[in-house]
Amino acid sequence: MPTPTTGVLPVPGARLYHEVRGSGPLLLLIATGNGDATPYGPMADALADRYTVVTYDRRGFSRSPIEGPIDDAGRLAEDVADAVALIDRFSGDPAYVYGACSGATVALALLERAPGRIRRLVAHEPPLASVLPDAEKWSRFHKDLYDVYRASGVAAAKELFKGTLELGESRPPEDAVLPPDKLEELRERLRRNELFWFEHELLPFPDEVIDLAALGAVSDRLVPAHGLDSADGFPHTPIVVVAERLGLPLTGFPGAHLGHVTHPREFAARLASLFR
C-alpha cells in the first residue's frame, strides 16, 4: 500500500489539503458531500500503480480551511476553481477526473467550465435536483431538512435524510478499515464536516444549474455513472436524466451510491478500464 505524500495548496480564500499517490497520468478524485479525502484512500491505493492519484479535502471541510467569509452562492464556482488549481499544480496535461455525490456535481461543472483541463471524467450519482422533472419537490425537501437541522439538530436531520434518500451500503470491506486511531480522527473530522455541509452545501448544491448544452459539446469526455446496486430514487435519478438528455450510455459501477467505499478495488478496476 503506497504512502501518500501530503501537502497544502494555497488558493484564493482557502488552503487545500491534498494527498498524492503513484505516478503516471493525473487522476483527480473529488470528494463527496463529506468533503474528506480519506474515504477515497483504498481506491486511490489500488490506482496508484497506473496514475498519479490526487485526493483532497474540499474547501471548508476537514483539513482545508477557508480564509475569510463564506459565499454560499459561489461555492460551486470556488470548488471548480480549486479543482483546476490542483490539476494545474500536478499536471501540465489534461487530467482524468472522478467525482461522486457532491463531488460529481463539482465534476460536471468542471467539465462545463474548464473542458480543456479534462481528458476524461466520470460523474457518479450527483444529487443534482435541478435536472429532475420534480425539482421543486426536492428543493422543498432540502429546505425542510435544513429547518429540521436548525430546530432539532444534526441527529434528527440525519434521520430524515437517511430515511428519504436511497444511499445503500456504506461500510468498507474489512481489509480497508482504518486503524482505530485513524478511524477516530476521521470520525471527528466528519462530525465537524456535517455542520459545514448543513450550513453551506445542503441548500445551494442541489439547486445548481449545469449547462447541459455546454456539456453536450464535450460529451465524448463524460462518463455518466451509477451504482449497479443503487435503487431507482434520489440521488440515483439525476445522472439518469443527464445521460438521457446528452444521449450517453449510463455506466454501472460496483455497489450503490458509495461503491468506491464498499468495493474500492473493483471500483478502481472499473475506472481504469474506462480511462484506458
Q: Domains along the chain?
A: 5-275 (3.40.50.1820)
Q: Is the pLDDT of residue 20 over 80?
A: yes
By the 8 A CB rule, do 145 and 163 touch? no
Which residues fall within 8 angstroms of residue 202, CB to CB, at 6 or more apart? 142, 145, 146, 149
Cis status of the peptide bond prior to 127, with omega within 30 of 0: no
Indicate the pLDDT class of residue 276, thresholds 50, 70 and 90: confident
β-partners of residue 28 are: 54, 97
Instruction: Please give the pLDDT value at position 1.
Output: 62
Indicate the pLDDT class of residue 189, thresholds 50, 70 and 90: very high
Q: How far apart are CA 60 and CA 32, in angstroms?
A: 13
Q: What is the pTM of this model?
A: 0.96
- CA 181 to the chain's CA centroid: 25
> Which tens digits make up the pLDDT trace of 149-186?
999 999 999 999 988 988 888 899 998 899 999 999 99
> Which tens digits make up the pLDDT trace of 37-96?
999 999 999 999 999 999 999 999 999 999 989 999 999 999 999 999 999 999 989 999
Instruction: Please give the pLDDT value at position 14.
Output: 97
